Structure 1
Amino acid sequence: MFIHLGGEKIIRASELVAIFDVSIEKSSKISKQFLSHAAKERHIEIIGEEECKSLVVTKTTVYYSPISSSTLKKRAHHLLV
């Protein structure tokens, strides 16, 4: 099964680790460190040119998605039930 993250980006549902609202990057020190490390290792991908609304963490990459975290969670839930 696959999850559409916005733009032309689709991932396998089995690769999904977590979905967060983009505000998490400003709300905790640990999330800032995690994202900083991912950026340093070049494991971040920004989808499209629209405003980013969510962070999608997979086994290998962190995606900044223009789709809200609640919508992505609903999509993932339908696939995993």
Structure 2
Amino acid sequence: MYLHLGQNVVVAHRDIVGLFDLDNTTSSHLTRKFLERAEKEGRVINVSDDLPRAFVLCRREQGPPMVYLSQLSVAALLRRAENNSFE
């Protein structure tokens, strides 16, 4: 199964490590450092037309995980995952 993150980007459910709300998680300096490092290393993909509301952490076969920034809320992403919706 796959999860549609926005802008025709889908990821396999098995590769998803976690879904995180940007407003809540970026209050932590550790999360900010993680996201800054991922961006410097080219591991952040912005699939948002607007301000991103969530980030999705996805494992890869090799190397550190990828970070996808989505304009969808965590609640919307969870509904899509449960319904396997590609809207």
Partner SS state of residue 45, structure 1? strand
Partner of 1:9: 9
Aligned length in residues: 78
User: RMSD of aligned C-alpha atoms?
Assistant: 1.4
Gap runs ≥5 in structure 1: none
Mapped to 1, the partners of 2:76 and 2:15 lie a distance apart of 18
Identity among equivalent positions (%) equals 28
Moved over 2 A (4+): 74-79
2-structure distance, mates of 1:15, 1:53? 20
More helix by share: 1
- Provide the TM-score with structure 1 as the length reference: 0.85
**Structure 1 equivalent of residue 20 of structure 2:** 20
Segments of structure 2 that go 5 or more residues without pairing to the other structure are 60-64
